[in-house]
Structure 1
Amino acid sequence: MVIPGEQPFYASVTGNAPELDACRILVVDDDASLRRTLPRALAREGRSFDESATVADAIAALERQRYNLILLDYRLPDGTGLDVLDWLTRHERDEAVIIISGEDAIDAAIGALRGGADDYVRKPYHLAQLQRTVESTLHKTTLEHANQAMSQRLRASERLHRFLVESSPDLIFTLDTEGRFTYINPRVTQMLGYERASLMRRPFSTLVMAEDVDRINSLMFARGNTPGESFNVELRLRRNRETLIEGGVESTTVSLTGIPMPGSKGRISNGLYGVARDISERKRAEEIITFQAYHDQLTRLPNRVLFKDRLELAIAQAQRRTGALAVMFIDVDRFKLVNDTFGHAEGDTLLRGIAARLSTTLRRGDTLARLGGDEFTVLLPDINHPEDAEIIARKILEALSLPFRLEHGDFRATVSIGIALFPRDGDTAEDLTRHADIAMYQVKRSGKNAFRFFDTELNAHYRERIALENDLRLALERAEFELYYQPQVSMKQHRVVGMEALLRWNHPAHGQIGPATFIPVAEEMGLIGDISHWVLEQACAQLALWRKEGFDDLRMSLNLSPHDFSRKDIVEMVTECVHRHAVPPAQIEVEITESMMMQDTIGVAAKVKAMREAGLSVAIDDFGTGYSALAYLQKFPVSTLKIDRSFVRDLDGPSTNPIISAITGIARGFGLHLIAEGVERAEQAETLRILGCDIMQGYLFARPGTAAQATAWLEVAPQPAMPH
Structure 2
Amino acid sequence: MKAIANVDFSPQVPDQPETSCILIVDDEERIRAAYRQLLAAPERSIEECATGGEAIDRLDRRDVDILILDLNLPDVHGLEIMEWMVQKHVPTAVLVFSGDESIDSAIRALRHGAFEFIRKHGNAQELIDAVERLQSRRRIEREHAMMTVQLENSERLHRFLVEQSPDIIYTLDRDGRFIFINGRVEALLGYSRGELLGKHYSLIVHPDDLEHARFAFNERRIGDRASTNVEIRLQTKTQGVRHFENRTIVTILSAQGLYDTTDGPATQHFMGTSGVARDITDRKKAEETIAFQAFHDLLTGLPNRILFKDRLGVALTQAKRKGKRLGVMFIDIDRFKLINDSYGHHEGDELLKRFAERARSCLRSGDTLARQGGDEFTVLLPDLSSAEDAAVIAEKLLAELKLPFKIAGLDFFATVSVGISLYPEDGESAELLIRNADIAMYQIKGRGKNGYLQFTPEMHSGHSLRITLESDLRLALESGGDQFELHYQPQVSHRDARTVGMEALIRWHHPRLGLMAPDTFIPLAEETGMIVALGEWVLERALSQFADWREKGFTGLQLAVNLSPKEFDRADLPERLLRRLEAHAVPPDALDVEITENLLMKDAEKNIDMVKQLRNSGLRISIDDFGTRYSSLNYLRRFPINSIKIDQSFVRDLNAGNSNSTSIIHAISCIARSFGLRILAEGVETEAQRQLLSGLACDDMQGYLFSQPLPAAEFEAFLTSSAFPSRTSVN
TM-score, structure 1 length as denominator?
0.80
Cα deviation per residue 1:96-125 (whole Å; 9 max; x = unaligned)? 211123445434322322222111113432
Instruction: Give the Cα separation in 2 of the matches to 1:175 and 1:598.
Output: 78
- 1:54 alignment partner in structure 2: 51
Checking the alignment, whether the CA contact within 8 Å between 2:110 and 2:117 is kept in structure 1 is: yes
Cα deviation per residue 1:651-680 (whole Å; 9 max; x = unaligned)? 799xx9899899999999999877665454
> Structure 1 residue 626: deviation in Å?
8.6
Aligned runs of 1:37-116 on 2, under 5 Å? 37-64=34-61, 66-116=63-113
Question: Match for 2:162 among 165, 175, 181?
Answer: 165
Write the letter of the residue equivalent to 1:304.
R
The answer to whether the aligner puts 1:235 opposite 2:240 as a matched pair is no
Instruction: Give the Cα separation in 2 of the matches to 1:390 and 1:316.
Output: 23
The answer to whether the aligner puts 1:576 opposite 2:602 as a matched pair is no
Instruction: Give the Cα separation in 2 of the matches to 1:509 and 1:668.
Output: 48
Instruction: Give the Cα separation in 1 of the matches to 2:347 and 2:121.
Output: 114
- 1:564 alignment partner in structure 2: 567
Instruction: Give the Cα separation in 2 of the matches to 1:608 and 1:83.
Output: 122
**Matched residue SS, 1:79:** coil
- 1:539 alignment partner in structure 2: 542
- 2:712 alignment partner in structure 1: 707
**Matched residue SS, 1:382:** strand
Instruction: Give the Cα separation in 1 of the matches to 2:392 and 2:145.
Output: 91
**Matched residue SS, 2:506:** strand
Checking the alignment, whether the CA contact within 8 Å between 1:652 and 1:683 is kept in structure 2 is: no
Aligned runs of 1:279-428 on 2, under 5 Å? 279-330=280-331, 355-356=356-357, 358-371=359-372, 376-393=377-394, 396=397, 408=409, 417-428=418-429
Checking the alignment, whether the CA contact within 8 Å between 1:256 and 1:276 is kept in structure 2 is: yes
Aligned runs of 1:190-201 on 2, under 5 Å? 190-192=187-189
Checking the alignment, whether the CA contact within 8 Å between 1:212 and 1:235 is kept in structure 2 is: no
- 1:187 alignment partner in structure 2: 184
The answer to whether the aligner puts 1:527 opposite 2:523 as a matched pair is no
Against the structure 1 CA distance between its residues 47 and 609, is the aligned structure 2 distance closer, same or farther, given a 3 Å change threshold? closer
Q: Which runs of 5+ in 1 are unaligned?
A: none
Instruction: Give the Cα separation in 1 of the matches to 2:3 and 2:631.
Output: 95
Checking the alignment, whether the CA contact within 8 Å between 1:226 and 1:268 is kept in structure 2 is: no
Against the structure 1 CA distance between its residues 50 and 688, is the aligned structure 2 distance closer, same or farther, given a 3 Å change threshold? closer
> Structure 1 residue 716: deviation in Å?
3.6
Checking the alignment, whether the CA contact within 8 Å between 2:646 and 2:680 is kept in structure 1 is: yes
Write the letter of the residue equivalent to 2:433.
L
Instruction: Give the Cα separation in 2 of the matches to 1:112 and 1:30.
Output: 18
> Structure 1 residue 328: deviation in Å?
3.8
Instruction: Give the Cα separation in 1 of the matches to 2:463 and 2:517.
Output: 19
Instruction: Give the Cα separation in 2 of the matches to 1:249 and 1:627.
Output: 59
Instruction: Give the Cα separation in 1 of the matches to 2:5 and 2:542.
Output: 94
Further displaced range: 54-63 or 131-140: 131-140
Checking the alignment, whether the CA contact within 8 Å between 2:342 and 2:603 is kept in structure 1 is: no
Against the structure 1 CA distance between its residues 208 and 585, is the aligned structure 2 distance closer, same or farther, given a 3 Å change threshold? closer
Instruction: Give the Cα separation in 2 of the matches to 1:554 and 1:428.
Output: 60
Against the structure 1 CA distance between its residues 445 and 520, is the aligned structure 2 distance closer, same or farther, given a 3 Å change threshold? closer
**Matched residue SS, 2:328:** strand
> Structure 1 residue 476: deviation in Å?
1.6
Instruction: Give the Cα separation in 2 of the matches to 1:634 and 1:552.
Output: 31
Against the structure 1 CA distance between its residues 268 and 115, is the aligned structure 2 distance closer, same or farther, given a 3 Å change threshold? closer
Checking the alignment, whether the CA contact within 8 Å between 1:236 and 1:251 is kept in structure 2 is: no
Instruction: Give the Cα separation in 1 of the matches to 2:409 and 2:635.
Output: 32
Against the structure 1 CA distance between its residues 126 and 388, is the aligned structure 2 distance closer, same or farther, given a 3 Å change threshold? same
Instruction: Give the Cα separation in 2 of the matches to 1:636 and 1:2.
Output: 76
Against the structure 1 CA distance between its residues 690 and 228, is the aligned structure 2 distance closer, same or farther, given a 3 Å change threshold? closer
Instruction: Give the Cα separation in 2 of the matches to 1:4 and 1:658.
Output: 96
The answer to whether the aligner puts 1:144 opposite 2:141 as a matched pair is yes
> Structure 1 residue 66: deviation in Å?
1.9
> Structure 1 residue 315: deviation in Å?
1.4
- 2:23 alignment partner in structure 1: 26
Please tell me the root mean square deviation across aligned C-alpha atoms, in Å. Answer: 4.9
Instruction: Give the Cα separation in 2 of the matches to 1:134 and 1:524.
Output: 108
**Matched residue SS, 2:704:** coil
Against the structure 1 CA distance between its residues 227 and 177, is the aligned structure 2 distance closer, same or farther, given a 3 Å change threshold? farther
Checking the alignment, whether the CA contact within 8 Å between 1:592 and 1:621 is kept in structure 2 is: yes
Against the structure 1 CA distance between its residues 603 and 383, is the aligned structure 2 distance closer, same or farther, given a 3 Å change threshold? closer
Checking the alignment, whether the CA contact within 8 Å between 2:206 and 2:235 is kept in structure 1 is: no
Instruction: Give the Cα separation in 2 of the matches to 1:340 and 1:133.
Output: 104
Against the structure 1 CA distance between its residues 430 and 24, is the aligned structure 2 distance closer, same or farther, given a 3 Å change threshold? same
Checking the alignment, whether the CA contact within 8 Å between 1:227 and 1:260 is kept in structure 2 is: no
> Structure 1 residue 296: deviation in Å?
3.7
Cα deviation per residue 1:262-306 (whole Å; 9 max; x = unaligned)? 975499997766433221221122112222333344444433332
Cα deviation per residue 1:314-333 (whole Å; 9 max; x = unaligned)? 11221222222233445567
Question: Match for 2:510 among 504, 507, 512?
Answer: 507
Instruction: Give the Cα separation in 1 of the matches to 2:147 and 2:706.
Output: 122
> Structure 1 residue 60: deviation in Å?
0.7
Instruction: Give the Cα separation in 1 of the matches to 2:406 and 2:673.
Output: 53
Aligned length: 714
Write the letter of the residue equivalent to 1:55.
G
Against the structure 1 CA distance between its residues 361 and 514, is the aligned structure 2 distance closer, same or farther, given a 3 Å change threshold? closer
Write the letter of the residue equivalent to 2:487.
Y
Question: Match for 1:131 among 128, 131, 135?
Answer: 128
Further displaced range: 340-349 or 482-491: 340-349
Against the structure 1 CA distance between its residues 306 and 446, is the aligned structure 2 distance closer, same or farther, given a 3 Å change threshold? same
Against the structure 1 CA distance between its residues 268 and 535, is the aligned structure 2 distance closer, same or farther, given a 3 Å change threshold? farther
Identity of aligned residues (%): 46
Checking the alignment, whether the CA contact within 8 Å between 1:2 and 1:8 is kept in structure 2 is: no
> Structure 1 residue 373: deviation in Å?
5.5
Instruction: Give the Cα separation in 2 of the matches to 1:476 and 1:198.
Output: 82
Checking the alignment, whether the CA contact within 8 Å between 1:228 and 1:259 is kept in structure 2 is: no
Checking the alignment, whether the CA contact within 8 Å between 2:437 and 2:455 is kept in structure 1 is: yes
Instruction: Give the Cα separation in 1 of the matches to 2:359 and 2:328.
Output: 14
Checking the alignment, whether the CA contact within 8 Å between 2:62 and 2:90 is kept in structure 1 is: no
Against the structure 1 CA distance between its residues 188 and 469, is the aligned structure 2 distance closer, same or farther, given a 3 Å change threshold? same
Instruction: Give the Cα separation in 1 of the matches to 2:492 and 2:534.
Output: 27
Instruction: Give the Cα separation in 2 of the matches to 1:553 and 1:2.
Output: 95
Instruction: Give the Cα separation in 2 of the matches to 1:55 and 1:702.
Output: 145
Instruction: Give the Cα separation in 2 of the matches to 1:574 and 1:488.
Output: 22
**Matched residue SS, 2:710:** coil
> Structure 1 residue 91: deviation in Å?
2.8
Checking the alignment, whether the CA contact within 8 Å between 1:555 and 1:587 is kept in structure 2 is: yes
Question: Match for 2:153 among 153, 156, 163?
Answer: 156
The answer to whether the aligner puts 1:589 opposite 2:589 as a matched pair is no
Checking the alignment, whether the CA contact within 8 Å between 1:20 and 1:142 is kept in structure 2 is: no
Instruction: Give the Cα separation in 2 of the matches to 1:342 and 1:577.
Output: 33
Against the structure 1 CA distance between its residues 216 and 664, is the aligned structure 2 distance closer, same or farther, given a 3 Å change threshold? closer
Instruction: Give the Cα separation in 1 of the matches to 2:680 and 2:407.
Output: 50
Further displaced range: 37-46 or 307-316: 37-46
Checking the alignment, whether the CA contact within 8 Å between 2:352 and 2:375 is kept in structure 1 is: yes
- 1:10 alignment partner in structure 2: 11
